[in-house]
Amino acid sequence: MGVEQQRDTHAEDGEADDAPSDAFERPVGGNEAMHPGTLVTPARSTVRHPFVTLVFMMFQIRCAGCDAPGAAVCTTCRFALLGPRPQPGSHGVRAALPFTGRARKVVLGLKYRNRRQVARHLAGLVVNAIVAAGDHRDLDMVTWAPTSDVRRRQRGFDQGELVARHVARQLGVPCRRLLVRSGASVTQTGRSRIERLHGPEFVARPGLDGRRVIVVDDVVTTGATLRAAAAALRHAGVVEPVLYAVASTPAGSGASARRRPGVAAPNPTLVA
């Protein structure tokens, strides 16, 4: 073996001796470019097969309804969400789901556990309700009843907006921010049913004369929020806004909507 070859060999051995003992200790953003599909493991091996990476990522996702690994909403919970839709209440809001059982867990996962992946599936259920009622005909756009600034900052997103944008995309119509909260931005969560009857105040964007709009929210209890949104849109010229929510609380159970995740609530189980 030549001198140069020996020198190269010793250099390679030295590099191996100086290498980090754990793959997680390797600096990020160094001179060595990592393949986008690379999976780093503590065993100092890299798996570059895209399928292995996909399987690894899938098992990091858990069902919002039952916490089973593999999908944002598992097959069992998807079937559980196909129960009969609630009848529109006196507030006039149509809902895709009753706020009970698996449906309640999934919606709370979106609101409080950052399970944003479920927004698309919930939107699909809202779209089914919209189409079944024929409210998709001659529709101009979809909007949402914005949450309070406090909640948006805490969560980093507005769950109503996420669902509304998916609803609009599935219906093939634009989704527009038409409403802003005015006055004191107070969240409805945690308020009594009597307090909820006095909903937030909204101001609608002008220039909506003759438009037909669907307004989407996540959960309806008394309907005060959506009614206030509809009043603002009518003032801006919208032709009778149509109101939809992902889920509606059972009659007389306003307290159930105020419970946080992890607190047991005597709600009936949703039957598939």
Contacts of 23 (CB under 8 A, 6+ apart): 40, 41, 42, 43, 44, 45, 46
How far from chain centre, in Å, is Cα 115?
6
DSSP class of residue 175 equals: B
Give Rg (Cα) of the chain. 25
Mean pLDDT of 83-99: 91
The answer, yes or no, to whether residue 44 has pLDDT greater than 80, is no
Bigger pLDDT: 69 vs 44 = 69
Q: Among 165-169, 188-192, 195-199, where is mean pLDDT lowest?
A: 188-192
Angle at 166 between CA 227 and CA 136, to 5 degrees: 60
Predicted pLDDT of residue 190: 52
Question: Residue 267 contacts by C-beta under 8 Å, 6 or more apart in sequence?
Answer: 99, 100, 101, 104, 250, 253, 256
Q: What is the pLDDT of residue 89?
A: 82
Query: Of the candidates 255, 239, 197, which has an alpha carbon nearest to the alpha carbon of residue 222?
Result: 197
Q: What is the pLDDT of residues 196-251, one digit of tens each?
A: 555 689 999 999 999 999 999 999 999 999 999 999 999 999 999 999 999 999 86
> What pLDDT does residue 182 have?
85
Closest CA to 106 of 147, 25, 163, 49: 163
Q: Give 185's pLDDT tier (boundaries 50, 70, 90).
A: low
Q: What is the pLDDT of residue 25?
A: 38
Does the pLDDT of residue 45 top 60, yes or no? no
16 vs 161, residue with greater confidence: 161
SS3 call for 150: helix
Mean of the per-residue pLDDT values for the chain? 77
What is the pTM (predicted TM-score) of this model? 0.68
For residue 200, the model assigns a pLDDT of 86
Average pLDDT, integer, range 77-106: 92
What is the pLDDT, as a whole number, of residue 37? 43
Closest to 199 (Cα-Cα) out of 168, 245, 230: 230
In the block, residue with structure tokens 């944008």: 165
pLDDT in tens, 64-83: 999 999 899 999 999 999 98
pLDDT of residue 186: 52
The winner for highest mean pLDDT among 20-24, 152-156, 228-232 is 228-232
* Residue 225 φ/ψ region, left for φ over 0, alpha for ψ in the -120 to 50 degree band, beta for the rest: alpha
User: What local confidence, expressed as pLDDT, does residue 130 receive?
Assistant: 98
